[in-house]
């Protein structure tokens, strides 16, 4: 896993910046019932999405385990963020009307613990929204994806059906789906080759024979600096049983 304290310096600019954050926030909000009141953004990172959520009038709190990321979030949403393990949240039961986890579960071997904690801190009728199938979303069937197809892969920790089973075990009910575009995240071959060589793919160590072979093949593709299509990320929503907070908004 990357050192997210170190990655904080360039995290936003390398991952779509404000346009992607706005698209993510809009899709999340479409799955949250009107009148929710307060929301916890788990793994809020630099707070770029958290700020978009707070701008709607929701009482938003953010939590992240990486100090470097959270320092930037504190600048965007002052007084609203907490340094803590997302698998052991420092909040009482039934504290929030909504909980979000955008781009988190794919990083964790014990992702179910996050789902369990989300269920715990949700009020009855509240909604948990999370991204699923993140790695698969980056496969846009481009020539870059064809080159990278032989690379070794870890089993996806955020597979749609797997996350659904986590939710079911913690008494959360399916409540909707949405998707959004990862603006500015379409990969160009030259950038993809550089990422391969610097260890972006954790099962391709820098300097390994397969790493270099794939990087060289990427460098032979046409239009070296032309980004391929942006990924489209998927969201799922799950509701904690209980009286609905209000009629659901669009997308539920």
Cβ atoms 181, 154 nearer than 8 A: no
Stated pTM of the model: 0.87
User: How does the average pLDDT of the chain come out, rounded?
Assistant: 89
* CATH superfamily to which 10-139+154-187+230-240 belongs: Vaccinia Virus protein VP39 (3.40.50.150)
Q: What is the pLDDT of residues 193-222, one digit of tens each?
A: 999 999 988 899 999 999 999 999 999 999
Confidence of residue 104 (pLDDT cuts 50, 70, 90): very high
DSSP sequence for 82-148? EE--TTS-SS-TT-EEEEEESS-GGG-TTHHHHHHHHHHHEEEEEEEEEEE-HHHHT--S-HHHHHH
Mean of pLDDT values over 144-173: 96
Ordered by start, the domain boundaries in the chain are 10-139+154-187+230-240
Q: What is the pLDDT of residues 158-172, one digit of tens each?
A: 999 999 999 999 999
Tell whether the model's pLDDT for residue 109 goes beyond 60. yes
**CA distance readout (Å), 240 to 168, 245, 252:** 10, 11, 14
Cβ atoms 233, 179 nearer than 8 A: yes
């Amino acid at each position: 896993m990357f050192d997210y304290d170190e990655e904080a310096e360039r995290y936003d600019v390398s991952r779509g910046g404000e346009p992607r954050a706005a698209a993510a926030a809009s899709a999340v909000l479409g799955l949250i019932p009107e009148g929710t009141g307060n929301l916890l953004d788990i793994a809020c990172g630099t707070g770029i999405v958290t700020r978009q959520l707070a701008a709607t009038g929701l009482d938003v709190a953010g939590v992240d385990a990486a100090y470097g990321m959270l320092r930037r979030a504190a600048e965007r949403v002052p007084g609203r963020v907490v340094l803590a393990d997302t698998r052991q949240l420092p909040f009482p039961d039934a504290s929030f009307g909504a909980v979000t986890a955008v781009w988190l579960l794919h990083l964790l071997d014990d992702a179910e613990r996050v789902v369990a904690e989300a269920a715990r801190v949700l009020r009855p009728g509240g909604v948990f929204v999370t991204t699923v199938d993140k790695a698969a979303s980056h496969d846009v069937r481009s020539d870059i994806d064809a080159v990278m197809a032989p690379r070794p892969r870890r089993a996806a920790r955020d597979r749609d059906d797997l996350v659904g089973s986590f939710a079911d075990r913690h008494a959360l009910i399916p409540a909707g789906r949405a998707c959004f575009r990862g603006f500015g995240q379409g990969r160009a071959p030259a950038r993809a080759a550089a990422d391969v060589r610097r260890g972006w793919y954790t099962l391709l160590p820098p300097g390994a024979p397969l790493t270099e072979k794939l990087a060289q093949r990427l460098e032979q593709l046409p239009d070296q600096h032309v980004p391929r299509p942006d990924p489209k990320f998927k969201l799922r929503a799950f509701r904690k049983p209980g009286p609905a907070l209000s009629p659901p908004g669009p997308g539920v």
